[in-house]
Each structure stands twice: as structure tokens, then as C-alpha cells.
Structure 1
């Protein structure tokens, strides 16, 4: 099995965790080398993982992630955005609190 995990730069852990929770992700782990140092957080939804980092050297961003889900309409409704039908997918785009763009998609209808 091969998998890729995007690392996104964040500033506020709690704000980011609440935002990613709206996409159905939960915190999987939290790492801090020493108290007061930047945090590195893993969030997971099903088998999909995203790493969120406060470290200045990680992911200078903002970045773009393409996220496949079973039903983009549910996610779009939760986030208050409009879906769009493309030849390759039905998708929508949202931006996290740190300017990272997340395109959420499901296979095209029909």
C-alpha cells in the first residue's frame, strides 16, 4: 500500500481542528517537542490523513488539497458552499482559516 499525507501550515490548532471537524476529520495525534514549542497534529477521516503543522519550516503555504469523499453535497451543505459539476468530478472549494484551499469532490453524476 502507498499513501500520501499532505502537511498544511496552520497558526491556531484549536481553530483548525474545529474547521477540519466540519469536514468529518478527528484528531489522531498531537506532538510537541517541548512545552511552548509549535504543535504538529494529525487528523483523520476514514483512511484519509492530513497533518497540520505550526512549524515555520513545514509547508510554507497556503496549499491546495483535493479531497475525495462519498458525497460532496453533504460537505458543501455543511460548509455553505455550492457544488459544481466538472467532467472529472462534482466538487466544491473551501478555504481553511490559514488560507489553505480544499477542493472536496465526489465522482461525477451519471
Structure 2
């Protein structure tokens, strides 16, 4: 069995606040790490459907303004949790986009039944 997977690392100026913000998208904290008190935080978050992100306060780990595409089973439910009222219906997905506290763009979409 192959259990390989990829995880996007996003820049966060306040990883704890960012992890809280991501709760609206269905993420919960999986772990947190700090080499010693006063050092930057590195926090892992995940959704029940196995999507994972890492939020890093370390300056060299990631660039600001990154785009992550998050596929979800029900984009309307996630949009409501984020306070989004306008969802775009595209041929490839029904989707919306939000920015996290650090300006990283999170595009959330559901693939239409006809394309699955």
C-alpha cells in the first residue's frame, strides 16, 4: 500500500490565529511545533477528508499570496460557513475564493456530478 501524500506549507505571521481561521473551512489542528519558547510556530491542520495544510511562521518556508485549491463534497455548506454568498458556476467546478489572514488564496470547489 502506498501512503505517499503531499502537504502545502503556507506562510503565517500568526499560525495560531490562522489555524483558528481555517476552522471555517472544516480544518482542525493536528499538531504544533516550536523548537523553543520565543521561536516561530509550525502548526499542522487537517480536514476529516484527509486534506492537510501546514502553517509556518518561519520566514523561509513559504511565500505569501499562495493559491491552494480545496476540493470539498459540498461547496455551498463551506461557503455559508465562510460568509460567502456568491459562488461561481464554472464547467470544471462550482467554486469560491477567500483569503486567509496572511493573504494566501484558498479556492474551494465541488466538481459537478457530470464531470466525476
Pick the aligned partner of 2:31 from 29, 32, 44. 29
RMSD: 1.2
TM-score by length of 1: 0.94
What 5-or-longer segments of structure 2 have no aligned partner?
none
Of 65-74 and 81-90, deviating more is: 81-90
Checking the alignment, whether the CA contact within 8 Å between 2:7 and 2:52 is kept in structure 1 is yes
Q: Would the aligned equivalents of 1:90 and 1:109 in 2 still touch at CA under 8 Å?
A: no
Match of 1:92 in 2: 96
TM-score under structure 2 length normalisation: 0.89
Instruction: Note the 1:76-87 alignment, pairs <5 A.
Output: 76-81=79-84, 82-87=86-91
Structure 1 residue runs of 5 or longer lacking an equivalent are: none
Three-state SS of the structure 1 residue aligned to 2:20 is helix
